[in-house]
Every structure is written in structure tokens, then in C-alpha cells.
A and B are shown apart, each in its own frame.
Chain A
Amino acid sequence: MGFSGTFIILYIFWIILSGRFDYFHLSLGIISCAIVAYASHDLLFKETKAKNVHTQFIRFVKYLPWLIYQIILAGIYVTYLALHPRMSMLIDPHIIRFKTKLKKDPSLFTFGNSITLTPGTITVLIEEGYFYVHTIDKKVAEGLLTGQMEDKVAHVFMEDHGED
């Protein structure tokens, strides 16, 4: 799984980046991708127990449009704050610390990046199940603490059958 998956991804990258389809370049790509995949096959796919990968992938693709919508909202919100003449009255920044129910690495990565890309919040530190998030005012902190986005990410990576 580790070797072949890394090899396929590297080879797709090779074809896109080289843009030549003759035998010489394709075989050169096979050789170099095999060497690199052999050297680094344990980096990309760590401890993947291949369970429900297809469902997770489909749910992740369904999650993306909502994320892009949130990114556009975030850009407009920061634009509003940056161009407001009395900006320092509006903002009330804090670092908040809360416990998360997510456990797996991909879901932590996705949740951290989603927090960074949604309006008014950026992830500072993820440590032993605790998230340190910098929020730019009180209202977005309340919005984050309703746990709506965490439930979405847990649904994508199938972690919502747990204790709570």
C-alpha cells in the first residue's frame, strides 16, 4: 500500500510536470519514481488501515464546497476589518484553548486547516488533544465553540460513532 500509493502519486506528478509522452521520458519517470518511492514509502501513508477509504474520500469531496464558501466569507470579513477606519474598536483578539474529540492525524490536519481558513479564527497550536485558537473577536469564538465544524470533520473521517 505504502510503496504503490506513493509511486502512483509521484508518477502522476511526473506526467503533469514533464508534459512529454514518448517512451524515453515515461521510462525515465518510472525509474526515478520507483527510487524515490522506495526511499520514502513510509512518509506519506503512515498506519493506514484501509477501511472505508472510498466513503471518506466521497465525504471529503462533499466537504470541499462548504470550505471554499467559508474561505470567501473569511476573505470578505478580513477585508471589512482591514478597511474599517476604526478597526481597533471592532476587534477583541484572544487565544482560546479547548479540548477536541478528534483523534486521527488526517482529521486533526483537516480541522486545523479549516479553522485557519474560516472567518476570524486561526489555529496556533495542537497539543495532546487541545486546540489553541486565536480568535479576532468574541462572536466568532462563540461560533467556533458550538462545535458545528468539528462535527462536520468528524463525519467526514467517520469518527462520530465515539463516546459523545
Chain B
Amino acid sequence: MGKIELEGFFLINSLILGLFVLLCLYRVVFGPTLFNRLIGANVIGTKTLIILALMGFIYRRIEMFIDISLVYALLNFIVTLAAAKYLQRKGVL
């Protein structure tokens, strides 16, 4: 019964997280070096994971959104590892 009342709270919470994503996007766009951009992308990935799970509760389709969220967590990790491994030998700044 209480599942309906909290939807507004989840909506506001995901909007706040979206604001934080915008703030992190500042660092991704204007970040001084490539590595700052890379951690910016990693942080945005973690926040998107939470926003996706909250979306699932807002639309009441959590069984679908939680799978997307799980795949997003795995992809975020793999992208971070691959980019870090690629940049390790290049010496790009």
C-alpha cells in the first residue's frame, strides 16, 4: 500500500542525482587532462546506475530496469578497465 506514496520522493531524488551528473559533466568537458575526463565518466556511470534503479520504482517496472542497471554496472567497470589499460602505455596527457 505504501508503494505509491514514495514515488514523488524517488522522482525528486533522481532529479537531484541528475543535477550532480550535470555538475560532473563540467569536469568531463573542461577537465584539464584525459584522466580527469575518464574518472568523470566513471562517476557519471555510477550515478546513472542509481538513477536507473530509481526509474524502475517510479515506473513500477523494477524487474526490467534492475537488469538494465546490472548490465550498466558491469559495462561501467569494463569500460573503466579497458580505457585505463589502453592509456597506461601511451603516455597521453
Are any A and B Cβ atoms less than 8 Å apart in their complex?
yes
User: Which A residues lie at the B interface, using CB under 8 A?
Assistant: 17, 19
Q: How large is the interface on B (under 10, 10 to 19, 20 to 34, 35 or more residues)?
A: under 10
Q: Which 3 A-B pairs have CB atoms at the shortest separation, nearest pair first?
A: A17-B67, A17-B70, A19-B63
Least CB distance from B61 to A in Å reads 14
CB-CB under 8 A from A17, the residues of chain B are 67, 70
Q: Closest residue to A19 on the B side, CB-wise?
A: B63
The interface residues of chain B, by DSSP majority, are classed as helix
Give A101 to B63 CA distance when docked, in angstroms. Answer: 46
Give A17 to B63 CA distance when docked, in angstroms. Answer: 10
User: Which B residues lie at the A interface, using CB under 8 A?
Assistant: 63, 67, 70
Least CB distance from A48 to B in Å reads 24
CB-CB under 8 A from A19, the residues of chain B are 63
CB-CB under 8 A from B67, the residues of chain A are 17
Give A17 to B67 CA distance when docked, in angstroms. Answer: 8
Least CB distance from B46 to A in Å reads 14
Least CB distance from B68 to A in Å reads 13
Least CB distance from A105 to B in Å reads 17
CB-CB under 8 A from B63, the residues of chain A are 19
Q: List 3 A-B contacts (CB under 8 A).
A: A17-B67, A17-B70, A19-B63
CB-CB under 8 A from B70, the residues of chain A are 17
Q: Closest residue to B70 on the A side, CB-wise?
A: A17
Q: Closest residue to B67 on the A side, CB-wise?
A: A17
Give A9 to B84 CA distance when docked, in angstroms. Answer: 28
